[in-house]
Amino acid sequence: MPALLDEAERIAREFEYPADQVQRGVDEYINQSNEGLAKENTTLSQIPTFVTAVPNGTEKGLYLAVDLGGTNFRVCSVQLHGDTTFNLTQSKIMIPRELMASGTSKDLFLFLARQIEAFLRIHHNEHFEAHLRRPGDATNKENMFDLGFTFSFPVRQLGINSGTLIRWTKGFNIPDAVGHDVCALLQSAIDELYLPVRVAALVNDTVGTLMARSYTSPGETGTFLGAIFGTGTNGAYVEKLDKITKLQTMEGAHYDTSTGEMVINAEWGSFDNHLSVLPSTVFDRELDADSNNPGVQMFEKRVSGMFLGEILRRALLAMHQDPALGLFKPSKTSKVICPENSGLYRQWGLDTSLLSLVEADKSPHMAEMKTAMYDHLKIENLSDVECKAVKILVHAIGKRAARLSAVPLAAILIHSGKLQTENMVDVGVDGSLVEFYPNFDGYIREALRSVSKVGEAGEKKVRIGISKDGSGVGAALIALVASKDETLKSASEK
């Protein structure tokens, strides 16, 4: 079936993302990011997070973190040892359906506060009892916990521990919370139960990734950039305050200016939504047209775990439906079986983890890949040639995603000037794609080297490390930074 491999190679070439295009992407990213720092409602949101310092690994203490973002509510406590290590204790609770959609915000937040209470009673009873003896006593500081609140819904943030809910997503619908400060809502519920807890910070998971890496990375250097390549993709980095010019026009914004810096949440999934520089194949265009949000998150739709499987599925299906190719169709040389209920025929029917399994199998007869094709798509008895065709497409789609991932990294590094001035720049990454897709970081590095203002010398200065658990240890670290924020302390003591 040489025609099959020729066609696979032809499609693969459509996914090539050569160095000159990487360069154009980087130049455009720098433009769009500068615009985002100056104005509201731009393609790159460049959201100020009000986090004005990153940890260096010497931080100590016991902090709480909670995470509300989907079906579960997670409560954890993090003991920071001050030597880049920590212990984390956690519990997870399913949120009752009726609280997600039909009750009042008070019902929901009291439920959350009760979970925090139960957690403290089980895991930190000493603090708990000590505080209960003197309820409501603001001077009882030693037994107060600072808490980082990861809240994964759209909020308009005005300070490190305040932000108003713009709208609910993901099946939540409690209208009376919209427009209210979610930190204040959680704090009142906590106060109603007399818990020794102060909501110190509102946390975005990408910022948590940056903070977690900054604490755990070797040496005392702070991390400059945190990036997620999981279900979605996004990044956060440390920006100079004077470059965030839109802060001056944000009414009600309050923050610590002493470090001269602030972490920016780039929201880079929406980079180049108008497709001025992003590559597009027919499969990208069809995926977008059939999605529930056409025209937005265009960068994310070419890069992240939620979408790569669907791109591959569309490419495989197109080849399968071409009678001249015979992919997944039985013939003299192939006894392949592709049943009607295969995920191949269903939108989102192919999970991105299959790409990692296929890419990883370098053996001559690809036995592991064949098992994976059965487990994921119910396709049996693939011939070696069919396997090769699939591998060619997987490799092309995965490599394009990794090279695209280099675009925001290179742009932010160049914009910061860090590659000129420092010996080493630390980058923390999280997400199944970068963790499990073979050589994802290798392809990122190759693309970085090809960018003129990065080059070999610049790429060598970039240290990339995995950063796990932004909403646990990362959120705890943001609570710590917030508790040291002088402007907030004086505000709460008034």
47 DSSP β-pair partners: 265
Q: What H or E segment, with its residue span, contains residue 285? A: helix 282-289
| CB of residue 231 to ligand ADP, shortest distance in Å | 4
231 versus 381: smaller Cβ distance to ligand ADP: 231
Q: Indicate if 383 belongs to the active site.
A: no
Q: Indicate if 167 belongs to the active site.
A: yes
Q: Which does 231 bind (CB under 5 to 8 A by kind): Mg ion, ligand ADP, none?
A: ligand ADP
Q: Which of 27, 205, 256, 430 is catalytic?
A: 205
77 DSSP β-pair partners: 64, 89
325 versus 402: smaller Cβ distance to ligand ADP: 402
CB burial of 394-411 (b: ≥16 within 10 Å; e: otherwise) equals: bbbbbbbbbbbbbbbbbb
437 binds ligand ADP (CB under 6 A): yes
d(CA 181, CA 185): 6
306 binds ligand ADP (CB under 6 A): yes
Write the DSSP string, 311-374: HHHHHHHHHHT-TTT-TTS--SS---B--TT-GGGSTT-S-THHHHHHHH--STT-HHHHHHHH
Token pair, residue 292, equals 């529930």
d(CA 333, CA 141): 76
Q: Which of 45, 91, 114, 152 is catalytic?
A: 152
Answer whether 300's CB lies under 8 Å from 323's CB: no
How many residues of this chain interact with ligand ADP, rule: CB under 6 A? 14
Q: Which does 353 bind (CB under 5 to 8 A by kind): Mg ion, ligand ADP, none?
A: ligand ADP
135 DSSP β-pair partners: none
Q: Which of 100, 360, 436, 438 binds ligand ADP (CB under 6 A)?
A: 436
| CB of residue 215 to ligand ADP, shortest distance in Å | 19
Q: Which does 414 bind (CB under 5 to 8 A by kind): ligand ADP, Mg ion, none?
A: none
Q: Indicate if 152 belongs to the active site.
A: yes
| CB of residue 211 to ligand ADP, shortest distance in Å | 16
- In the shown chain, the binding pattern of residues 259 to 278 toward Mg ion, with x for contact by CB under 5 A and - for none, equals --------------------
148 versus 230: smaller Cβ distance to Mg ion: 230
410 versus 473: smaller Cβ distance to Mg ion: 473
Q: Which does 356 bind (CB under 5 to 8 A by kind): ligand ADP, Mg ion, none?
A: ligand ADP
Token pair, residue 454, equals 């990065």
d(CA 293, CA 198): 37
Using the contact rule CB under 6 A, the part of the chain among 158-166, 209-217, 335-343, 429-437 near ligand ADP is 429-437
Q: Which of 433, 444, 473, 478 binds ligand ADP (CB under 6 A)?
A: 433
Interaction residues for Mg ion, span 206-265 (CB under 5 A): 230
Q: Which does 352 bind (CB under 5 to 8 A by kind): Mg ion, ligand ADP, none?
A: ligand ADP
428 binds ligand ADP (CB under 6 A): no
Q: Which of 10, 97, 121, 167 is catalytic?
A: 167
d(CA 387, CA 8): 11
To the nearest 10 degrees (0 to 180), the angle between helices 384-416 and 19-38 is: 40
Interaction residues for ligand ADP, span 341-360 (CB under 6 A): 351-353, 355-356
Please write down the HEC assignment for all residues of 387-432.
Answer: HHHHHHHHHHHHHHHHHHHHHHHHHHHHHHCHHHHCCCEEEEEECH
Token pair, residue 178, equals 């919209």
Dihedral sign of CA atoms 427, 431, 433, 439 in order: positive
* Interaction site with Mg ion (CB under 5 A): 230
* Interaction site with ligand ADP (CB under 6 A): 230-231, 305-306, 351-353, 355-356, 431-433, 436-437
| Catalytic residue annotation | 152, 167, 205
